[in-house]
Amino acid sequence: MNRPLSHLAGYLALPALALVSVMSTASAMTIEKITSPAGISAWLVREQTVPLITLSYAFHGGSSQDAAEKSGTANLAADLLDEGAGDLDSKTFHERMENHAIELGFRVGRDEFHGSLRALNEHRDEAFDLLKLALTAPRFDADAVERVRGQEISGLQRDTTNPNTIASNQWWAAAFPNHPYGRESKGTVVTLPRVTTDDLRDYVRRTFARNELTISIVGDVDAKTAGELIDRAFGALPAKNDLKPVAAVTPRGLGRRIVVTLDVPQAVVNFGGQGLARNDPDFMAGYIVNHILGGGSFSSRLYREVREKRGLAYGVSDSLIWFKRAAVVIGGTATQADRTSDALSIIEAETKRMAEEGPTPEELTAAKSFLKGSYALSLDTSAKIAAQLNQIQLDNLGIDYVTRRSALIDAVPLDDTKRAAKRLFGNGMLVTVAGKPKGLSSVGTE
């Protein structure tokens, strides 16, 4: 769950301050590897143009640590970390954040727990103290637990009639049956009521530790002070986590089509299959191929064929997604019920053509130029920089990846993209549809 940042007295002012004006290109960054006095490693980018500090961090162990019958545990814990900690109840904790314009964000992915902090320099000690309390002494008071649980269950109940959520949940459940990756991180209306306070405390105890912690800091701070702040927030955590193993898995159901009938004006389609691990030698070639087919730009094949030429959907795209123990390529679109079959036929034809032929030389050249030029947009604020650097650490790409990335893209030859295209799209797709698509029914069984 991507938890929105809130409770900020300075909400309107901080985004403007967070702009990193001198870092309009990746080459402008100097990334330092630092080690705190307690021995915790982090990456630091010094930015002195604004009196602001931004932190991004991650612990290994996300929703994949949830018991199947209590899915949603990790996400509920994340949503409760700022609802009181230590000797501060929920109201007091929020007031301390608001009075000092401090942002604390917590969210859970399938493999990791992600957190962020942003504060003005004058309030950074207070910010890191509050973060320490949230991570080491969350209260999980009964009234707060039931209030937040109720809010989440209300959202889950709304999702039971949301075609986007239904199509997505069906895809993941069919691709990874009886595996943590197949479960929704938010849980369900059945599992979330089963989560106890002891479950929340057990998740925090097993997950929040120093041994698999990644940290990135961007701001007006030197290495010595940054190290002290790191220890202030994370130094009291246990040395080692206690995670349950997650089995390696590949997506199943390729060739299946699952249609969930829902009385809505549009049908939502999800499609996808086997992806590429982030450390796969073909990953960068696959990344380029995916961009050409449906990577979100207006020039992609799917956008051109489905939207521009035929007007069948407002948008269509696909993405590469990688986890620690699996990788997928997954896409989606929404279209009128009586045109769903047409849109899906085009998507399937284009993915098959890409698998058989790969991209053209002209497409490869254009994609490389776009992917290199657009990267700076992911590094144009302190928050984006910190998040990007943290993901680079999680993916073990090396501290020099930002400067090497363009060369890695340039080095991909056409033959590699053809091979990657076949690997990504040559084995068929799992398709899920939510709505009342005319002329489409479920096909295939697991």
- Beta carbons of 189 and 72 less than 8 angstroms apart: no
The SS3 assignment for 75 reads helix
Q: What average pLDDT does the segment 171-194 reach?
A: 97
C-beta neighbour count of 321 within 10 angstroms: 14
Q: Which secondary-structure segment (H or E) carries 38? A: none
Residue with the two structure tokens 């899920």? 432
Query: Could you report the per-residue pLDDT of 29-58, keeping only the tens digit for each?
Result: 899 999 999 999 999 999 988 899 999 999
Rounded to 5 degrees, φ, ψ at 8 are: -120, 115
Predicted pLDDT at 26: 52
Of 186, 179, 212, nearest in space to 77 by CA: 186
Predicted pLDDT at 208: 98
Query: What DSSP assignment string belongs to 186-238?
Result: T--TTTGGG--HHHHHHHHHHH--STTEEEEEEES--HHHHHHHHHHHHTTS-
Query: What is the number of alpha carbons within 13 Å of residue 78 lying toward its C-beta?
Result: 29
CA 251 to CA 320: how far, in whole Å? 13
C-beta neighbour count of 19 within 10 angstroms: 15
Of 131, 118, 98, 132, nearest in space to 221 by CA: 118
Rounded to two decimals, the pTM is 0.92
CA angle 117, 123, 128 (to 5 degrees): 45
CA angle 105, 110, 116 (to 5 degrees): 15
Q: What average pLDDT does the segment 436-442 reach?
A: 93
Query: What DSSP assignment string belongs to 26-80?
Result: GGG---EEEE-TTS-EEEEEE--SSSEEEEEEEEE--GGGS-GGGTTHHHHHHHH
**Confidence check: pLDDT of 5 > 60:** no
- Beta carbons of 267 and 433 less than 8 angstroms apart: yes
CA angle 107, 113, 119 (to 5 degrees): 60
Predicted pLDDT at 429: 97
The SS3 assignment for 416 reads helix
398 phi-psi bin (left φ>0, alpha ψ -120 to 50, beta other): left
Question: Which fold does the domain 257-376+399-435 belong to in CATH?
Answer: Cytochrome Bc1 Complex; Chain A, domain 1 (3.30.830)
- Tell me if 14-234 shares its fold with 257-376+399-435: yes
Q: Name residue 398's amino acid.
A: G
Question: Which fold does the domain 14-234 belong to in CATH?
Answer: Cytochrome Bc1 Complex; Chain A, domain 1 (3.30.830)
CA angle 394, 399, 400 (to 5 degrees): 130
**Confidence check: pLDDT of 22 > 50:** no
257-261/52-60 β-pairing = unpaired
Q: What average pLDDT does the segment 401-413 reach?
A: 97
Predicted pLDDT at 21: 40
pLDDT band at residue 27 using 50, 70 and 90 as cut-offs: low
**Confidence check: pLDDT of 24 > 70:** no
Query: Could you report the per-residue pLDDT of 262-273, keeping only the tens digit for each?
Result: 999 999 999 999
Sequence spans of domains, the chain: 14-234, 257-376+399-435
The average confidence (pLDDT) of the chain is: 93
